[in-house]
């Protein structure tokens, strides 16, 4: 199975800060990497697919990058509505594993 390791597990940043979350795969998975946002009590929603493609309707302050085994999700200017957990998922091969999640809070 492909292991997905996210870091950090949580972070606290100020409104307007640039925030980066990293996801590392145990083997190369390019470009089969998706980022989800999950607000408390809500369903996850897709932010980024195929490593760097922005899902329709998602604000442009979200971006994805990376290749091979290392991927990143960046929020260019953190907003209060971005308080959520963020999850990466590989769709390279079954089982389609997720990272353990990163909880983002406002300082």
Partner 1 sequence: EVQLLESGGGLVQPGGSLRLSCAASGFTFSTYAMTWVRQAPGKGLEWVSTITNSGGSTYYADSVKGRFTVSRDNSKNTLYLQMNSLRADDTAVYYCAKRVVTDWYFDLWGRGTLVTVSS
Please list every residue from 50 through 89 that binds partner 1, using CB under 8 A. 50, 55, 87, 89
Residue 57, by phi and psi: left (phi above 0), alpha (psi -120 to 50) or beta?
left
Least distance from partner 1 to the Cβ atom of residue 71, Å: 13
Least distance from partner 1 to the Cβ atom of residue 46, Å: 5
Stretch that binds partner 1, among 11-19, 20-28, 61-69, 94-102 (CB under 8 A): 94-102
Q: Does 107 bind partner 1 (CB under 8 A)?
A: no
Q: Does 44 bind partner 1 (CB under 8 A)?
A: yes
Residue 81, by phi and psi: left (phi above 0), alpha (psi -120 to 50) or beta?
alpha
Judging by beta carbons within 10 Å of its beta carbon (0-12, 13-18, 19+), is residue 25 exposed, middle or buried? buried
Which spans of this chain sit near partner 1 (rule: CB under 8 A)?
32, 34, 36, 41-46, 49-50, 55, 87, 89, 91, 94-101
């Amino acid at each position: 199975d492909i292991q997905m390791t996210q870091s950090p597990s949580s972070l606290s940043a100020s409104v307007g800060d640039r925030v980066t979350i990293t996801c590392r795969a145990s083997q190369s998975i390019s470009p089969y990497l998706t980022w989800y946002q999950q607000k408390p009590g809500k369903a996850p929603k897709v932010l980024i697919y195929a490593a760097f493609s922005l899902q329709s309707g998602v604000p442009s302050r979200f971006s994805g990058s990376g290749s091979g085994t290392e991927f990143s999700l960046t929020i260019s200017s953190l907003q209060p509505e971005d308080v959520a957990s963020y999850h990466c998922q590989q769709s390279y091969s079954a089982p389609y594993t997720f990272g353990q999640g990163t909880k983002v809070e406002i300082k």
